[in-house]
Amino acid sequence: MTAGTAPIPQAPASPGDSGERLITAISRNVRQFGMLIALVVIVAFFQYTTGGVMLKPQNVTNVFLQNGYIIAMALGMLLVIVAGHIDLSVGSVAAFTGAIAAVLMVNYNLDPLIGIVAALVIGGLIGAWHGFWIAYMRIPSFIVTLSGMLLFRGLTLFMLNGQPVGPFPSGFRDIASGFIPEVFGTVQDPFGPDQLKVTTLLLAIILCVALIVLDLSSRREQLKYGFQVSHVGQFVAKNAIQTIAIMFLAYRLAGFFGLPEVLLLVLVLIGVYMFVTVRTVIGRRIYAVGGNAKAAMLSGVKTKKMVFLVFINMGVLSAVGGLIAAARFNSATPKAGDGFELDVIAATFVGGASAYGGIGTVAGAVIGALVLGILNIGMGLMGIGIDYQFAIKALVLLLAVFVDVRGKNRD
């Protein structure tokens, strides 16, 4: 449209058009919608097979206490995979940075804040080391991060002298096992014997209102520039379902000890990364690099810089995961971080990220992490052996990648 010309009026949408738009929206996000449905089905299955134990307040709380580090690291892995790479070193980096914080706090009696900052800085430097070899030296990420996995596992053994280091100060332990202070007291649960933490419920209400306001603002902005938006009914239904889900989760958490500090940290990270991936130039450029690196470079995107920054980010979030894991177990051990790679990579792929790069969402990565976390807790409640648990998670990962590859081949 040139200057001075009026916008072309659009015909009013018919009910058939609304249905077609709904089908199109679902088809574009089929894996994410599919995993969301799968998450609900998995929860319902375990709720039934465990006789209603799965959704007890303690088990809902444990989902986040036991998987906070996975969600945090999956956010970093999402960007790595979207950019078309992989990072096999996240478990070793988490162990190494956790060991550094432990040695500073326990052996040198330094303030926990110093240990946390040191771990995050070193995590970023490790990411820069990986990013340099991958982005500028053109060495495949698989090889570089496999080397890093071995290197930092060895350095972890060196830092700890082969022995666990702990315990930690209570303030540091609260990162993974603490709960926000109760400001407004408690009320009797009208549906059960529990006392509900009012602060947790109020924070959930604030979150729901904020999400609705942001969604309305985004919708108005799209309408302002003439972009196509979802039908009003779809918009209302989406926000209603979202609000019900958040309030139910808050209700369960409020029936135990309230909102875990690690969940608050994770929610902040999720909000930041949603904003970065959806609303910022750097987020769009990372997706462009993963979608077609040559085309992105010809369009003026500094592809090497983007890959370099993605791995720095992964290093920092690996350190966050290492700190959370160390705080949860109240010690840094030589075996810390074992298997983190499987859980983090699996969460990202299960949540809809493409093995070919360029596709994936923050919400999908979080859903994937929750699916694996609920599988772990649910199978544990059912008494399924650890050997079968590994096999089931492996099959879930294989199925997720198969769906991605099949869809790519059809395209």
Q: State whether 270 and 373 are in the same domain.
A: yes
pTM (two decimals)? 0.88
Report the C-alpha gap between 92 and 238 in whole angstroms: 40
pLDDT at 19: 55
Q: State whether 264 and 394 are in the same domain.
A: yes
Q: State whether 113 and 183 are in the same domain.
A: no
Of 119, 39, 108, the closest CA to residue 315 belongs to 119
Q: State whether 293 and 354 are in the same domain.
A: yes
Q: State whether 241 and 340 are in the same domain.
A: no
Q: State whether 203 and 240 are in the same domain.
A: yes
The β-bridge partners of 165 are: 332
Q: How far is CA 259 from the centre of its chain?
A: 18
Q: Where are the alpha helices (DSSP H) in 194-260?
A: 198-224, 232-254
Q: Could you say which of 221, 236, 259 is where a domain stops?
A: 259
Encoding tokens for residue 112? 């926990």
Report the C-alpha gap between 13 and 231 in whole angstroms: 9
The values of phi and psi at residue 187, to 5°, are: -130, 155
Q: Residue 198: which domain range?
A: 179-259
pLDDT at 6: 42
Chunked mean pLDDT (size 10), the chain, 411 residues: 43 50 53 73 91 92 93 96 96 96 95 96 98 96 96 95 91 93 91 90 95 90 82 86 92 94 96 93 95 91 96 97 95 91 90 88 91 91 87 82 67 55
Q: State whether 92 and 153 are in the same domain.
A: yes
What CATH number is attached to the domain comprising 397? 1.10.3470
Q: State whether 213 and 122 are in the same domain.
A: no
Encoding tokens for residue 76? 């970093």
